[in-house]
Structure 1
């Protein structure tokens, strides 16, 4: 985040670029909502904008989206929506701490705001987060846990998924050699084209050598260690057509870091997943994969050849009615049967806010309320205080009544006693 803030400062210094963008008079901007600088640029240019978040609903509680901690897992909690008491307690603590973390993130951009905005019109990031005409999230409820949303929230998960095209002759020949065993796709995302840790690389290579399937592994061939013998069933490629390979009828498994786009393509093509999370949202993404029985996650620091091979065999050759494959088929059916594909949903909603003059009619008033009003904390405290006062008065009045009544009884008894004596 500190690096993004530094980039933001440099970007604001490009006055010619900002002036040229301002003169274009755009109708609307689609911005990367992961980077807070995007909101500041849109504010500087005076643009209406749609905020596109590249992953699931992480940090949604700071965006005004209802996030009941009783069943909506907080980012990095590694919880599902089915929580026991201790898990709900953990989720509540992380829910509260997430507001502190968000303040720390926003504080990194404070010097950018102070430096590049005049004193009389300095924006707050917390307020800019409430200004998008739409919030667009790159997720889908095929994989995401069900949760409440606002009218200005659009989900477009699966935007990169599409019917497969034929693969190259070179890849097709390699796949054909696998015969009935089929093949698997291995890719750890665009940010990690090759495994940099030799011990992990050796364990993965050894694990692949223990299965009958062919393996197409996205790995920079020039970086493969010269003293490590590549498993005979493995083909290294610098780049692979992931969507087309996952849609191939002989594809049996996807080994992935757990990026949301890869997972949505696996869902679309009904391919089970073996996840090796590395950073960011990948850990939470793979919690959803396991909960939906689409696949299994392995920690990279615990990756051993025999465990790796056994997990792959379990996912591809599960004897209990091949439950992972059946779950993948069921999820794919749900995903594909939605009324509109994600691309159309995005286009239609953006056109809607353009033709409507903005998305203000989609914004509930709750996004402008402070937390104590939104969660009725002031009302709860008032009712609690009222009950305490009423109870106190009743108790005190009862004690006073008992004192008076008992004192009267004592006087009457004493008078009766004197009468009898006389």
Structure 2
């Protein structure tokens, strides 16, 4: 009987300990594919006993109001980054890319992109304002959160963390409009390619010139967005002395959705934690209808095509061309597509609204992934060792695919030329028949998997670390708090230059005086 009591008491103690160790986490997410990988992180945190509260608007596209593993707080807004807004942007980008003239991309990045950024961030600013002005902020203050987990591609999370005085963890690859390393780590532009440059880390002189120009344009866009949206919010809710540029980079931990199998080697910082491929996992069994379809491919295998979260359909002429090219292949094709059924679609091609992408990429019969180049898809392809034919649409997608191409694991097509001279079909046949593409991708897969700790476990450890220690101030470099002229030692260079000039002037004056004195003595003697 005593043994039963002891076991019961021990079980009660263990359950109580689990509850006590569970943290209280506030989440400021982004929509679309960013939410998809944030959601994976949230499910893992919930499984470890943490309580999660997710902030969303009443027009949220991906972030659902009801969930079994988080509670949501919904804030009403007039504007939002909804499906209609994103779909229009993607359609405009596709039209531009197909008809772009040489050097037109610089104009597009400078003018059109800036307006798009401002409009998008204004919607985020409205959400942040509605949140801080709403009764929900009182509930947040009384909820005693341990940490705020935010996606910093939208800038409201940093303001909310400061307002609630919470430690801040970023689930990040993008900080406003630039790759986050550029804001927090030394980033020599001589070998670190800027997103949109289309360069590797081995640049010619002309490419370095272009790299610098694009960097200046990106910084100007970020400065405009910050001044027009986030700095105003800072001054309104945090006081006139608050500098958003400082606030933005002052996160305790950067959970970087990248690693150095995918990314080029570069300087980094102590509070940057790499978790590239954290969403990847061994493949599960396919739904029966998909398994039956891929087994029907025989020895040829199958291809999957997905253009990600935002691109559900292409212009009809492109769609017809792609369908016709697939119809000429002996392989089966599973194509994630929501538009009108192409008239040239072959019997070997299955159109689906949704696909278990990770499980399909991990299937032994998969031969090729036709992808747009989003970070999630690229990392899943690396994890499973599946070569890629890339069809980038916008933002970082070309640069992501370029990293695979540079390592011999992908072939890239452009929207401007994909429908010319059977380029699409030729690219697929090249990657299927040339063994080096698969061999190189499988080498990357082996490198990615050979880690001392799984990327997801690494991310969870550092989130819990911040909760246990109320932040991670000891990992923040002093550079975060330094003005630009001190960081780059401009003041030191000016001081030393002035000191040297002063010494030279003093020496010249002394020599002139000495010469003048000697000359006067000589004149007197004569």
Which position in structure 1 is the counterpart of 2:317?
Answer: 199
- Residues 129-208 of structure 1: pairs in structure 2 closer than 5 A: 129-195=248-314, 197-208=315-326
Q: Against the structure 1 CA distance between its residues 88 and 392, is the aligned structure 2 distance closer, same or farther, given a 3 Å change threshold?
A: farther
Are residues 1:6 and 2:123 paired? yes
Alpha-carbon deviation of 1:112? Answer: 5.1
Which position in structure 2 is the counterpart of 1:418?
Answer: none
CA contact (8 A) 1:55 1:139 kept: no
Which position in structure 1 is the counterpart of 2:423?
Answer: 307
Q: Against the structure 1 CA distance between its residues 391 and 202, is the aligned structure 2 distance closer, same or farther, given a 3 Å change threshold?
A: farther
* Larger Rg over CA atoms: 1
Alpha-carbon deviation of 1:99? Answer: 2.8
- Residues 229-268 of structure 1: pairs in structure 2 closer than 5 A: 229-268=344-383
Q: How many residues align?
A: 405
Give the Cα–Cα distance (whole angstroms) in 2 for the partners of residues 114 and 21 of structure 1: 18
Which sections of structure 2, spanning at least 5 residues, go unmatched?
1-116
Indicate the structure whose relative CO is greater, using CA pairs within 8 Å and at least 6 residues apart: 1
CA contact (8 A) 1:42 1:48 kept: yes
Alpha-carbon deviation of 1:105? Answer: 1.5
For residue 226 of structure 2, the aligned residue among 106, 121, 127 is: 106
CA contact (8 A) 1:60 1:67 kept: no
Q: Which moved more, 1:386-395 or 1:200-209?
A: 386-395
Which position in structure 2 is the counterpart of 1:329?
Answer: 442
Q: Against the structure 1 CA distance between its residues 25 and 307, is the aligned structure 2 distance closer, same or farther, given a 3 Å change threshold?
A: same
Give the Cα–Cα distance (whole angstroms) in 2 for the partners of residues 58 and 277 of structure 1: 18
Give the Cα–Cα distance (whole angstroms) in 2 for the partners of residues 94 and 385 of structure 1: 34
Which position in structure 2 is the counterpart of 1:419?
Answer: none
3-state SS in 1 of match to 2:259: coil
3-state SS in 1 of match to 2:370: strand
3-state SS in 1 of match to 2:416: helix
CA contact (8 A) 1:66 1:148 kept: yes
Which position in structure 1 is the counterpart of 2:7?
Answer: none
Alpha-carbon deviation of 1:234? Answer: 0.8
Q: Deviations over 1:254-293 (max 9, x none)?
A: 1111000000000000000111111121122122121122
3-state SS in 2 of match to 1:94: helix
Q: Against the structure 1 CA distance between its residues 81 and 296, is the aligned structure 2 distance closer, same or farther, given a 3 Å change threshold?
A: same
Which position in structure 2 is the counterpart of 1:70?
Answer: 190
3-state SS in 1 of match to 2:474: helix
Alpha-carbon deviation of 1:79? Answer: 1.4
Are residues 1:211 and 2:329 paired? yes
Which position in structure 2 is the counterpart of 1:95?
Answer: 215
- Residues 312-391 of structure 1: pairs in structure 2 closer than 5 A: 312-318=428-434, 322-387=435-500
Q: Against the structure 1 CA distance between its residues 114 and 41, is the aligned structure 2 distance closer, same or farther, given a 3 Å change threshold?
A: closer
CA contact (8 A) 1:133 1:152 kept: yes
Give the Cα–Cα distance (whole angstroms) in 1 for the partners of residues 469 and 442 of structure 2: 39
Q: Deviations over 1:12-56 (max 9, x none)?
A: 334122222222111001011110122222223332211121559
Which position in structure 2 is the counterpart of 1:289?
Answer: 404
For residue 245 of structure 2, the aligned residue among 126, 146, 151 is: 126
TM-score norm. by structure 1 comes to 0.87
Give the Cα–Cα distance (whole angstroms) in 1 for the partners of residues 387 and 505 of structure 2: 63
Q: Against the structure 1 CA distance between its residues 110 and 7, is the aligned structure 2 distance closer, same or farther, given a 3 Å change threshold?
A: closer
RMSD: 2.9
Which sections of structure 1, spanning at least 5 residues, go unmatched?
410-414, 416-422
